Amino acid sequence: MKKKILVTGSRGVLGSSFKKKSFINRLKKKYIFYFSDSSKCDLRNYNKTIEYVKKIKPEFIINLAAVSGGIGLSSKYQATLLRDNLFINLNILEAARIANVKKILMTLTTGAYPKNLKLPYKEKNLHDGEPLENNYGSSFAKRIIDPAIKSYRNEFGLDVIGLAPSGIYGENDNFNLDDAPMLPATIHKAYLAKKNDDKLIIWGNGESFRELTYADDYRDIFMWALENYSDSKILNVSSKEEYKIKVIVNKICKILKLKKKNIIYDLSKPNGIYKKTCDTTLLLKQKKFKFTSLESGLKKTIFWFIENYNSNKIKSKRKIKN
């Protein structure tokens, strides 16, 4: 009999990857996927979450739901992001417990690591200091997942695991210029610069590094973990491929055919964190994975962006309720 998998946060960049037909067809003999987003259930609401999960009766839950955004949004709504993400994660765990869900995968983020932590980030050091000020609320909400995993395993015997991805990108990302992360925001700005024969303004000197991993690669690792990993220890997940922001910008501009002379680095703006390298030793002890090249992933992402530019997928703004 086919097993039911509930994927929350299915409108996000990673959740959308689970909805791709090629992926669903690959697993259709084993699983039936149910996809949830805020229009189907407000996971911040305890009673609604319990009833929703009980109605579906999934064997597995992949919890990707989160309220998040770029630096501006994270800085402005620190308490709201703390509250909402705590509610979402704890409500999902309670619903899974009550509905006798077989296994739950929870999603953390490497952005939750302490701000002055020695590189590379190791899972055991997650709580060894305070996170960056501009991600304070959302980072602590994600950190709570770690003790929640251990607590629900110890008290209720719930098979719950946690993965911490870093630098995810792909189709259906948040491209809204008001609150998008660095890469989708750069794609959007570069597209407009090309379209309007204008300058592309990049904050800082472009010398900082970023780890980037294509969403489909994370999706496949998450499915592997759901089927094969069962431990209270969270796992960092990353391709470990680091690129200077300048290199990322140049690759985006090459695909969009925007000339390098149009790129302006605004040195009056901050450079951001120099590096956020993650240690994936624990993951690689389990299995070695193949990853999509940056060029291939960027092409897929940019072509999707262009094709959907005039749709609500690009234009809609993120709504924060406080």
Structure token pair of residue 242: 């680091």
**How far is Cα 262 from Cα 240, in angstroms, rounded to an integer?**
30
pLDDT of residue 315: 57
Beta bridge partners of 6: 34, 61
pLDDT of residue 204: 95
Query: What's the CA angle centered on 221, arms 219 and 225, to 5 degrees?
Result: 115
pLDDT of residue 313: 72
pLDDT of residue 60: 98
- How far is C-alpha 30 from the geometric centre of its chain's CA atoms? 25
Backbone angles phi, psi at 211, to 5 degrees: -80, 135
DSSP labels, 32-79:
EEEE--TTT--TTSHHHHHHHHHHH--SEEEE-------HHHHHHTHH
Q: Is residue 155 exposed (0-12), middle (13-18) or buried (19+ Cβ within 10 Å)? A: exposed
Amino acid at 227: E
Structure token pair of residue 36: 């949830």
Q: How many Cβ atoms are within 10 Å of 317's Cβ, its own excluded? A: 10
**How far is Cα 72 from Cα 189, in angstroms, rounded to an integer?**
17
**How far is Cα 147 from Cα 51, in angstroms, rounded to an integer?**
25
Per-residue pLDDT of the chain (322 residues; tens, 9 = 90+): 999 999 999 999 999 999 999 999 999 999 999 999 999 999 999 999 999 999 999 999 999 999 987 777 788 899 999 999 999 999 999 999 999 999 999 999 998 999 999 999 999 999 999 998 888 999 999 999 999 999 999 999 999 999 999 999 999 999 988 888 899 999 999 999 999 999 999 999 999 999 999 999 999 999 999 999 999 999 999 998 999 999 999 999 999 999 999 999 999 998 888 999 999 999 999 999 999 999 999 999 999 999 999 887 775 545 555 5
Packed helices 78-98 and 145-156: angle between N→C axes, nearest 10 degrees: 20
User: Of the CATH numbers 3.30.70.330, 3.20.20.140, 3.40.50.720, 2.130.10.10, which one belongs to the domain with range 3-315?
Assistant: 3.40.50.720
Residue 30 near residue 190, CB atoms below 8 Å: no
Structure token pair of residue 38: 């805020």
Side-chain-side CA neighbours of residue 305 (13 Å): 26
pLDDT of residue 319: 54
